[in-house]
Amino acid sequence: MKTFLITGGAGFIGSNYVSRLLQRGEKVIIYDNLSRNGSKKNIEWLREVYGRDAFQLIIEDIRKPEQLNSLANEADVFVHLAAQVAVTTSVTHPREDFEINALGTFNALEAARNSRKKPVFIYASTNKVYGGMETVKVRETATRYEYVEYPQGISEEMPLDFHSPYGCSKGCGDQYVRDYARIYGLKSIVFRQSCIYGIRQFGVEDQGWVAWFVIAAVAGRKMTIYGDGKQVRDVLFIDDLLDAYDLAISKIKTTSGQVYNLGGGPKNMLSVWKEFSPRLEKLTGRSMNVASADWRPGDQRIYVSDIRKAQHELEWSPKIGVDDGIERLYDWVATNIHLFQ
């Protein structure tokens, strides 16, 4: 049995990972300020399924490191998921974004570095560290944008270009985590994650777009499509992401100090509306209530992860395809629509 310390453990990714860990008998410490949409509901769900004493919950902010330092001494694995996650919020509140994402990650790293157990350290980074990639050639088709020169997607060799305060703060953490492996020998791994989606995701308009569109479709809410709706992302179902986490931990001699792009890859990409809306209409049996708006600053025409490094070194590949994943999410939302009212 290992002890896992998970910052942001009440969030979408965190609560799903906690559930997986508890199922297999691991000890879990959740460190979360419960500020995110749905976090309290996720804690209630975990307690209902596994019992109130199945895990330890520390309600605290990642910007306050004192308690985090002592908790890190118990951890075999430190999973740092706590973050400010919306680009739009980072633009309006850049200081808060910096303090949570950059300073918060530094606090987590220092706690791990000074821990008696020298834990494995996983950092959830983002594809936003590559910026707008304005020099990458793109062509437009009837329903989507496509790369001209990157049929396998964007690899870890793409130059970093932090765009937006969010990109800067997450990118800062990304590079700190990578460098702590080189300078201090911390067993750290960076996952530059693309669009992760799945059950227990309380998506909103500016973050978690797959879940937000599904929630809005089920609830009959109005949706706003920014740009032309042909923007392309590769999507990865939550179970596949967590498989990668587990494999990276089990192969730490290989993965320590490494960076991996994690997403659905070329086989699991779709345009955010032109190709998504027909799927929603098929599932709901009705047309969507949609408004249009201008492009948002920094919105990439296309981002698709080249996942070949993770496939090779982790022996990992996504198992849940786009249609299957969206249907699973839709069924969960429809069954639990009371959670969104």
- pLDDT-derived band at 206 (thresholds 50, 70, 90) equals confident
pLDDT digits (tens, 9 = 90+) for 173-204: 999 999 999 999 999 999 999 999 999 999 98
Q: Give me the mean pLDDT over the 26-31 stretch.
A: 98
Which residue, 60, 59, 175, 71, is CA-closest to 114?
A: 71
Mean pLDDT of the region 224-241: 96
pLDDT above 80 for 297: no
**155 alpha-carbon distance from chain centroid:** 18
Give the CATH number for residue 67. 3.40.50.720
- How high is the pLDDT of residue 75? 98
**For the whole model, what pTM was predicted?**
0.96
pLDDT of residue 200: 96
pLDDT band at 299 (very low <50, low <70, confident <90, very high): confident
Rg (CA), the chain: 19
CA atoms of 27 and 75, how far apart (whole Å):
9
Specify whether the backbone of 297 is left (phi greater than 0), alpha (psi in -120 to 50) or beta: beta
What's the rounded Cα separation, in Å, for the pair 146 and 152?
11
Cβ count near 283 (within 10 Å):
18
Task: For 102-129, write each residue's pLDDT tens digit.
Answer: 999 999 999 999 999 999 999 999 999 9
Residue 276 pLDDT exceeds 90 = yes
**What is the arithmetic mean of pLDDT over 144-168?**
96
CA 244 to chain centre: 13
Q: What range does the domain containing 329 cover?
A: 3-340
Residue 171 pLDDT > 80: yes
* Distance in angstroms (rounded) separating the CA atoms of residues 137 and 225: 24
Distance CA 198, CA 49 (A): 18
Could you tell me the pLDDT band of residue 300, with boundaries at 50, 70 and 90? confident
Domains in the chain: how many in total? 1
Q: Which residues contact 1 (CB under 8 A, 6 or more apart)?
A: 25, 26, 27
Would you give the distance in Å from CA 87 to the centre of its chain? 13
Catalytic residue positions, numbered: 166
- CA–CA separation, 264 vs 325, rounded Å? 11
CA distance 245 to 4: 12
Supply the pLDDT for residue 49: 97
CA distances in angstroms from 232 to 28, 96, 299, 321, listed in the order given: 36, 29, 10, 16
Cα–Cα distance for residue pair 238/255, rounded to 1 Å: 20
Helix (H, G, I), strand (E, B) or coil at 291: strand
